[in-house]
Structure 1
Amino acid sequence: MDRDPCAGFSLIELLLAVVMLGILASIAIASPAAVKHNLDLETGLRRLRIGVDRGQMAAERNQQPCALHLTPQGWQPPVAGDLPACRGGSLDLQDQGASPLILRSNLPDVVRFTANGLVLDSSLVVLSHPQRNHALCFVIGLPLGITRGGIYRADINTPLSSSQCRPRDAR
């Protein structure tokens, strides 16, 4: 049976096209939220690193030891202690209006920097988002305060372990 080239689409063809467009639209609508949550996590991890860098630079620039305190909101001056705050070290982990991040850490109350910019406290910080099933991590290693980031491969509700902070391409 030959089809007339001037004839329109059949009802089944139109319904199939509408269903396919609906599926594509639902994927496109759900995707931006996931992208935003991932971006919020990446931003938080980047700002963790920037806070440590700022603390190191402040200590070197002023040639005196200083300290910072990490709160769920970000890097802040220490509440108490013998060391002054690292000038210029305060930094929020998130932009205003960003999705809430969950921060877990085994950092001491005060992260200390020597006059030559070395970090005196090693630790692990894990950032997660309530809507994402993975967490990002940030490790500060001694003796030089070398930092590395990655994906945290363990349950964030168990005791934190630096060995679970793996590079992104590692399985």
Structure 2
Amino acid sequence: MTRGFTLVELLVVFVILGLLASMAFLPPGRQREKLELDVALRLLRLGLDRGRMAAERQAEPCGLSLGPDGWQPPRHGSLPACQAGVTRLSETAESQVELRSNLPELVRFTANGLLLDGGLVVLRHPRLERALCLVVSLPLGISRTGDYDADPNVALRSSYCQPRDEA
């Protein structure tokens, strides 16, 4: 008498194979954290660009505030929000990206999309040694992004924002 596999045995094998296959598509821990940091930097730039475009499109000054979660409407009512610029730094609530900045509380945009405020933003992940930076220059916005080559817990200086080595 030939005996085959039971349904339960086949299901267990398929579940194990499915788990192994799904692990192949997930980036390992460090890669995931690096990707999370890169995405946060791109979203930070995107919010700034959208804020500039919103001011231009509306033909009136507007502002954004940078908080731990990303670009937010101004905390005080002195300027209307550049609504298109409101952008989170992560698409998930589990993000561990930390943000430090010396930007003023309100980043202001003129009616023609120029910036009135500049500074430096440093993003880091607690599990990575690498920190990324964004230098916001006047009047056009971003002057450069890069790796932050200093301790991000001390006074921030844009001279430590070195162009990224893509290799």
TM norm structure 1:
0.78
Deviates more, 1:88-97 or 1:156-165: 88-97
Alignment of 1:145 with 2:141, yes or no, is yes
**Number of the residue aligned with 1:91:** 87
The 5 Å alignment of 1:9-158 reads: 32-158=28-154
TM norm structure 2:
0.80
In structure 2, distance between residues paired with 1:134 and 1:39: 12
Unaligned runs of 5+ in 2: 1-23
User: Does the residue aligned with 1:44 lie in a helix, a strand or coil?
Assistant: helix
Q: In the TM superposition, what is the alpha-carbon distance from 1:88 to its structure 2 partner?
A: 1.5
1:58–1:159 CA distance, 2 compared to 1 (3 A): same
Alignment of 1:161 with 2:157, yes or no, is yes
Which has more radius of gyration? 1
RMSD between superposed Cα atoms in Å: 1.6
Q: In the TM superposition, what is the alpha-carbon distance from 1:80 to its structure 2 partner?
A: 0.4
Q: In the TM superposition, what is the alpha-carbon distance from 1:146 to its structure 2 partner?
A: 3.3
AA at the equivalent of 2:117: D
AA at the equivalent of 2:116: L
Unaligned runs of 5+ in 1: 1-27
1:148–1:54 CA distance, 2 compared to 1 (3 A): same
Q: In the TM superposition, what is the alpha-carbon distance from 1:98 to its structure 2 partner?
A: 4.0
Q: In the TM superposition, what is the alpha-carbon distance from 1:148 to its structure 2 partner?
A: 1.5
Q: Over residues 111-159 of structure 1, what are the superposed CA-to-partner deviations in whole Å (9 max), with x where a residue is unaligned?
A: 0000000011110000000000010000001232233210000011110
In structure 2, distance between residues paired with 1:147 and 1:98: 30
**Number of the residue aligned with 1:15:** none
AA at the equivalent of 2:66: L
Report if aligned partners of 2:64, 2:82 keep a CA contact under 8 Å in 1.
yes
AA at the equivalent of 1:54: R
AA at the equivalent of 2:67: T
